Amino acid sequence: MRRLSRYLTRLRVVYGVLTNGKDFRIYELVGNQVKLNFQCQGAEITDNIEKIKDIIGRDKLAEIKPKNAGSTDKSSPPIAKSVITPPQSFQTSIVTPKPKVRTMKTIAIYHNKGGVGKTTTTINLAAAISRKGLKVLIIDLDSQANTTYAAGLMKFDTEEEDTLKDSNIYNVVFYPKSNYIPEIALKSTFTYPPVDVIPAHINLIWQEARLVDKDSSKTHLVKKLELVKDDYDVVLIDTPPSLNLYAKIALIACDYLIIPSDLKPFANEGLRNVKNFVEEIDEFRTFINKPAIAVLGVLPSKILTNANYIKATLPKQEKVVEERYGFPVLETRIFQREDLSRAIDNFVFEGDRQIPDPKSIFDFKPDSISAAEFEELANEVLEKVGLSA
């Protein structure tokens, strides 16, 4: 329903049909509100066919006059007469890049609780945005390097073959006058069009001590992102599930924040830590003349698909987030589906070797419900940061 409403209001379409085979509904755009016009059971369509034709039949729709009817200005397009929910191939199609007249937006994906879908969100949101013709950079600031793996950059078997240990995000944040982003960023293989990725490495764990002793390292990423502000439309920063220095660097550098959460008790309780952490970072940002972080919202992720849970429990959990912790909740929900895990765990064989070949959900199964969910998330995020079409 949320997705259909978005289609109608953005495209200025009068009618929209929503059905699951059992239930049939016709919605109408009245002003800026989408209202239910007609509803019946699927088995009752034959009995109601004349009524349906009277609302959205070909002859009826032909009578609808364009919004600018009678105007001598022929430059304005007429309001659309009807809508059919687009097929998945339309929803996930690749768009030719538009001329760039935009300001780079940097978005951190953060929660201090692990296992809430940060990597899945980062990878698939980046793919969805890239397919809209925007230039995307992913920065992995988590020593677990899950996003680096999911981006297809860890295809070596031995330490001797490790190409990332001497060129990763540590170089960017440690050195003030070298190791700039174009020197460290790698082209990804997990999606098409490809996105650039600054990888992480497990060595970040012990290298953090060197950064702590070098206080200026907190702002090196900010300065180096400023140098590439004309090269990217969106920067997504995956963060560690902690309150450590790498998380601070990410939140100091970002403009916006998305907080993935499965909305379970521990994740919800962790939101108090997130809120305090954001307030602490905002204090520091004032000293470097950066505005407070704009929290886009908590993203319900890894949500169970049980119908009773979705109807009865999920709305209560979302309400708790807003009322108890003061965070907005994004409209999009990312449900826990097998396709998402299989996409990241994808592999190919080279002789006897099993080579990791992770894919975004759009490249692994573009017609899946999960792909549609991330398409919806990309639309919502881009709208909130001012990059929607």
The reply to whether 74 and 117 lie within a common domain is: no
Structure-token pair, residue 329: 């909740």
Report the number of distinct structural domains present in the chain. Answer: 2
25 and 151 part of one domain:
no
More reliable by pLDDT, 299 or 70 = 299
Q: Are residues 193 and 74 in the same domain?
A: no
Q: Are 360 and 130 in contact (CB under 8 A)?
A: no
**Nearest-angstrom CA–CA distance, 376 and 261:** 17
Residue 364 backbone phi and psi in degrees, to 5 = -90, -45
Residue 182 sits in the same domain as residue 271: yes
Q: Kindly list the strands in the beta sheet with 33-41, ordered across the sheet, starting from the edge strand earlier in the chain.
A: 15-19, 23-30, 33-41
Q: In this structure, is residue 354 part of a structural domain?
A: yes
Query: Does residue 251 sit in the same domain as residue 370?
Result: yes
Task: Considering only residues 69 and 191, tell me which one the structure prediction assigns the higher pLDDT.
Answer: 191
pLDDT per residue as tens digits for the range 225-242: 999 999 999 999 999 999
Q: Give domain status of residue 92, yes or no.
A: no
Region 99-122 average pLDDT: 89
Pairing between β-strand 136-140 and β-strand 234-238 as defined by DSSP bridges:
parallel
Q: Specify the DSSP element, H or E, that contains 196.
A: strand 196-198
pLDDT at 260 over 90: yes
Q: 77 and 128: one domain? A: no
Same domain, 77 and 216: no
pLDDT of residue 9: 75
Beta strands 256-261 and 294-300 are: parallel
Is the same domain home to 257 and 312?
yes
Q: What per-residue confidence (pLDDT) applies to 97?
A: 52
Residue 161's pLDDT band (cuts 50, 70, 90): confident
Residue 350, domain CATH: 3.40.50.300
* Single residue among 39, 57, 85 that ends a domain in this structure: 85
C-alpha–C-alpha distance, residues 186 and 262, integer Å: 31
Q: Among residues of the chain, what percentage have pLDDT more than 90?
A: 64
Indicate whether 21 and 58 sit together in one domain. Answer: yes
pTM of the model: 0.78
What's the pLDDT score for residue 10?
A: 67
pLDDT band at 389 (very low <50, low <70, confident <90, very high): low
Instruction: Quote the domain boundaries for residue 22.
Output: 2-85
8 Å CB contact between 257 and 294: yes
Tokens of 177: 């006058």
Same domain, 161 and 66: no
Is the pLDDT confidence value at 387 over 80?
Answer: yes
Do 257 and 120 fall into the same domain?
Answer: yes
- CA quadruple 146, 152, 154, 156: dihedral sign: positive
Long-range contacts of 84-91 (CB under 8 A, 24+ apart): 84/17, 85/4, 85/7, 85/16, 85/17, 85/18, 86/7, 88/366, 88/367, 88/368, 88/371, 88/372, 89/366, 89/367, 91/371, 91/372, 91/375
Which ranges of the chain does DSSP label H, i.e. alpha helix?
Answer: 2-11, 49-56, 58-62, 88-91, 118-130, 146-150, 169-174, 181-184, 204-212, 220-226, 245-253, 265-287, 307-308, 314-325, 338-344, 361-364, 369-384
Structure tokens at 246: 């790498």
Residue 90 covered by a domain:
no
Query: Residue 66: inside a domain, yes or no?
Result: yes
Phi, psi dihedral angles at 303 (to 5 degrees):
-80, 135
Which among 189, 169, 188 is positioned nearest to 179, based on CA atoms?
A: 169
SS3 80: strand
**pLDDT average, residue stretch 336-363:** 90
Residues 10 and 118 in one domain: no
| Domain-located, residue 35 | yes
Instruction: Quote the pLDDT of residue 81.
Output: 41
Per residue in 296-345, pLDDT tens? Answer: 999 999 999 999 999 999 999 999 999 999 999 999 999 999 999 999 99
235 touches 106 (CB < 8 A): yes
94 lies in a domain?
no
**Residues 259 and 113 sit within 8 Å (Cβ to Cβ):** no
Considering the chain, what is the average pLDDT of its residues?
A: 87
Provide the token pair at 149. Answer: 């793996």
Poorest-pLDDT segment among 8-22, 36-50, 72-86, 158-172: 72-86
Residue that is last in its domain, among 23, 57, 85: 85
Query: Does 374 have pLDDT greater than 70?
Result: yes
Spatial CA neighbour of 144 closest among 72, 70, 229, 239: 239
Is residue 297 packed enough to be buried (19+ CB in 10 Å), middle (13-18) or exposed (0-12)? buried
| CA dist., res. 177 & res. 199, Å (int) | 19
Q: Tell me the average pLDDT across 58-82.
A: 53
Most confident of 17-21, 26-30, 381-385: 381-385
In a domain, 72, yes or no: yes
